[in-house]
């Protein structure tokens, strides 16, 4: 739940601040007010540059979609709704397609698809094509069938994006959902061009934030296990309090497992162990140290529970079944793996590297004593 809500927290904050700011945009000094129409274009260029730098083709298309309102600023309400639906529908689609890079045949095909929809809306607006039956009233109401269909697509786009975000907690889907909500506000609740520019700028700023957070994720998060990686661990060790503990976790007989079942099945085991660490290591913070090794860092106020928590981690890894393909039987089987753990408590004035080494030595002792156990490192002699 916390991960899901955190993915939506910043996008919601940016939206709320931009709505509030748009209400008081008239208070800006004349110079800033005159420069405001250029702000969306400047932010769009920044977002496109970052999308190119981080090879994010979906963000490129989203930025272009957000700029579509510039095309229908003076259109009729019906045409305005059509362009709005195109933007929201394509953003919703992008939340379901995988990332394929910035500018290649995948990005080109997607941009051509968006261009086709925009061209279709433009042709209808100019009366180059028409469907008379869509202009009939819907069930004796004031709305036409075309308006009802457009709103149905709009509602489905927002609902599908919302559900996709709810079940995945992905930052891209969270940003896409807020993007759709923002487009609705821009189209139907903003009464001036200045308010329009403020909200559009905020949406582009949101995608710049997403790209920066995505770059942070790529640098600090292990892509396979979804745990923070070695670089994040190094930064964590720099800012530790005086009292802390470090635990090392190593999957038993992992090389033998890889030789028997293959590296793909070995990756499934590592993901399984990472899931156990996420579930049982709290309030400690788990990291992927490298290979089949993991690290858990405990801060001062949780030290009394460390050994009990590590025993829960050990038991959780042992109890968790992993489905793997047996190359001899040519069928899926369920197996369980075990892990050895070593923990070291920091002594007064001891460096984090020294504590980490003692935890690794304690892990070696667990291996030496038969594996699948937790060993505690004694304090250095000078600290006893």
Marked catalytic residue, from 3, 125, 235, 292: 292
Annotated active-site residue 307? The verdict is no
> What is each CA distance from 245 to 59, 114, 196, 238, 274, in whole angstroms?
41, 54, 52, 14, 19
Closest to 114 measured CA to CA, from 122, 125, 124, 102: 122
Structure tokens belonging to residue 152: 């149905």
Question: Rounded CA gap, 190 and 18, in Å?
Answer: 12
> Catalytic positions, please?
292
């Amino acid at each position: 739940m916390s991960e899901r809500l955190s993915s939506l927290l910043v996008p919601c904050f940016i939206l709320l601040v931009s709505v509030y700011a748009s209400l008081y945009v008239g208070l800006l000094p004349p110079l800033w007010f005159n420069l405001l129409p250029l702000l969306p274009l400047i932010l769009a260029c920044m977002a496109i540059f970052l999308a190119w730098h981080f090879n994010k083709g979906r963000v490129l298309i989203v930025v272009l979609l957000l700029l579509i309102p510039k095309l229908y600023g003076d259109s009729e309400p019906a045409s305005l709704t059509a362009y709005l639906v195109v933007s929201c529908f394509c953003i919703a689609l992008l939340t379901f397609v995988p990332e394929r890079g910035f500018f290649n045949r995948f990005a080109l095909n997607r941009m051509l698809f968006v261009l086709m929809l925009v061209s279709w809306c433009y042709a209808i607006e100019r009366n180059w094509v028409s469907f008379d039956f869509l202009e009939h009233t819907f069930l004796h109401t004031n709305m036409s069938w075309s308006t009802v269909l457009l709103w149905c697509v709009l509602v489905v786009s927002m609902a599908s994006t919302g559900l996709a975000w709810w079940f995945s907690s992905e930052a891209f889907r969270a940003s896409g959902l807020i993007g759709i909500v923002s487009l609705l506000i821009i189209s139907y609740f903003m009464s001036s061009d200045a308010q329009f520019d403020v909200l559009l700028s905020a949406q582009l700023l949101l995608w710049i934030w997403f790209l920066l957070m995505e770059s942070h994720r790529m640098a600090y998060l292990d892509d396979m296990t979804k745990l923070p990686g070695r670089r994040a661990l190094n930064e964590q060790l720099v800012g530790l309090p005086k009292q802390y503990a470090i635990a090392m976790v190593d999957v038993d007989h992992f090389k033998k497992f890889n030789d028997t079942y293959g590296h793909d099945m070995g990756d499934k085991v590592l993901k399984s162990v990472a899931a156990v660490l996420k579930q049982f290591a709290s309030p400690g913070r788990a990291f992927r140290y490298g290979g089949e090794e993991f690290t858990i860092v405990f801060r001062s106020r949780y030290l009394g529970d460390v050994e009990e928590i590590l025993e829960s981690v050990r038991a959780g890894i042992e109890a968790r079944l992993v489905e793997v393909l047996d190359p001899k039987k040519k069928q899926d089987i369920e197996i369980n793996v075990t892990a050895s753990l070593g923990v070291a408590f920091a002594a007064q004035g001891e460096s984090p590297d020294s504590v980490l080494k003692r935890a690794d030595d304690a892990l070696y002792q667990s291996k030496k004593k038969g594996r699948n156990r937790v060993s505690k490192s004694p304090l250095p002699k000078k600290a006893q």
